């Protein structure tokens, strides 16, 4: 098994190597590189089984590696970005480790790698990398491509009153009370949305503050969100989310 480490901080690279030595057997670290150019060279010359990529390296973002060479192996990103949006890095065969990396977290990431190793349908989706580039750049998803019959249309995020799950599907409900089926579940959509505008009030619903009309009290210290658009069911804020939701409404988060 061949591993590649892309990390421009010497101490971080040394720590990662040490942890790998403690966890893995029967592997070869074919390179510990600091730049996009070095990484591309190693990938072109070797059959890599697993990569550890720091997001920001000395000559840019490691995402740019995907533009220069075919990456057909799973990646575990290492990052100092302590932000809920980093959950997006768990798409497909991607995982992430928040620095400083702990041995337990590394073991969990390795276990995930071993569970998907050699499964070709679990390789990285390049469109996911494009989404991650925007997140790191401080951008959020501005539109969705939706299929309507035989046509593909653009659905602008700001026109969405709320997202919801129903019967194993994920939908966007718009300002003019239309529903559109989306291709990803709420768990993958939510990290791509602007947190100043959207809040996930429950496992089933994400609401847009622009379309909130009012709030009412509900049993067990919960809240009901009344929207300016039609709703097929009550929009109830989960009890554990009520405090954070109120702070979000007040602009405190």
Q: How many CB atoms lie within 10 A of CB 66?
A: 20
Question: Is the pLDDT score of 89 beyond 70?
Answer: no
Q: What is the pLDDT of residues 92-148, one digit of tens each?
A: 446 778 888 889 989 988 888 877 666 555 556 666 677 777 777 767 888 999 988
Question: Is the pLDDT score of 51 beyond 90?
Answer: yes
For the stretch 113-139, what's the b/e string if a residue is b when 16 or more beta carbons lie within 10 angstroms of its beta carbon?
beeeeeeeeebbeeebbebbbebbeee
| Domain ranges (residues) in the chain | 2-136, 143-249
Q: Cα(155)–Cα(140) distance, rounded to whole angstroms?
A: 14
pLDDT at 26: 83
pLDDT at 117: 67
Q: Are 221 and 229 in contact (CB under 8 A)?
A: no
Mean pLDDT lowest for which of 54-68, 83-97, 106-120?
83-97
CA distance readout (Å), 42 to 29, 110, 142: 11, 21, 35
**What integer is the mean pLDDT of 168-180?**
95
State percent of the chain over pLDDT 70: 87
* Alpha helices (runs of H) in 70-117, residue ranges in sequence order: 103-116
The DSSP 8-state label assigned to residue 24 in this structure reads -
Which residue, among 41, 45, 46, 52, has the nearest Cα to 13 in the 3D structure? Answer: 52
Question: Is the pLDDT score of 228 beyond 80?
Answer: yes
Question: Is the pLDDT score of 86 beyond 60?
Answer: no
Average pLDDT across the chain, whole number = 86
- 237-180-145 Cα angle (round to 5): 115
Question: How would residue 91 be classed by pLDDT, with cut points 50, 70 and 90?
Answer: very low
For the stretch 166-193, what's the b/e string if a residue is b when 16 or more beta carbons lie within 10 angstroms of its beta carbon?
eeeebbbbbeeeeebebeeebebbbbbb
Q: What is the pLDDT of residues 139-162, one digit of tens each?
A: 788 899 998 888 889 999 999 999
41 versus 187: the higher-pLDDT residue is 41
- 212-214-219 Cα angle (round to 5): 115
pLDDT at 118: 60
Q: Are 11 and 19 in contact (CB under 8 A)?
A: no
Superfamily of domain 143-249: LytTr DNA-binding domain (2.40.50.1020)
Mean pLDDT lowest for which of 90-104, 200-214, 239-253?
90-104
pLDDT at 190: 87
Q: Could you confirm whether domain 2-136 is CATH 3.40.50.2300?
A: yes
Which run of H or of E encompasses 97?
A: strand 95-98
Helices vs strands, H then E, count in the chain: 7, 17
Question: How would residue 213 be classed by pLDDT, with cut points 50, 70 and 90?
Answer: very high
pLDDT at 84: 43
**What integer is the mean pLDDT of 36-41?**
95
């Amino acid at each position: 098994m061949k591993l590649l480490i892309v990390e421009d901080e010497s101490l971080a690279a040394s720590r990662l190597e040490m942890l790998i030595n403690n966890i893995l057997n029967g592997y070869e670290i074919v390179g510990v590189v600091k730049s996009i150019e070095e990484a591309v060279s190693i990938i072109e010359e070797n059959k890599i089984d697993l990569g550890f990529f720091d997001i920001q390296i000395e000559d840019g973002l490691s995402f740019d590696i995907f533009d220069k060479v075919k990456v057909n192996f799973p990646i575990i990103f290492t990052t100092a970005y302590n932000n809920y949006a980093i959950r997006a890095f768990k798409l497909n065969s991607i995982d992430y480790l928040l620095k400083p990396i702990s041995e337990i977290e590394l073991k969990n990431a390795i276990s995930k790698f071993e569970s998907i190793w050699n499964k070709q349908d679990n390789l990285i989706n390049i469109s996911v990398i494009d989404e991650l580039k925007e997140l790191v750049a401080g951008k959020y998803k501005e539109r969705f491509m939706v299929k309507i019959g035989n046509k593909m249309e653009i659905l602008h995020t700001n026109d969405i009153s709320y997202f919801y799950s129903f019967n194993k599907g994920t939908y966007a409900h718009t300002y003019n009370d239309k529903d559109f089926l989306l291709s990803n579940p709420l768990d993958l959509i939510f990290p791509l949305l602007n947190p100043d505008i959207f809040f996930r009030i429950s496992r089933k619903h994400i609401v847009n503050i622009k379309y909130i009309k009012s709030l009412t009290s509900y049993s067990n210290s919960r809240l009901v969100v009344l929207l300016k658009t039609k709703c097929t069911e009550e929009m109830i804020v989960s009890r554990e989310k009520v405090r954070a939701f109120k702070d979000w409404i007040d602009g405190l988060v």
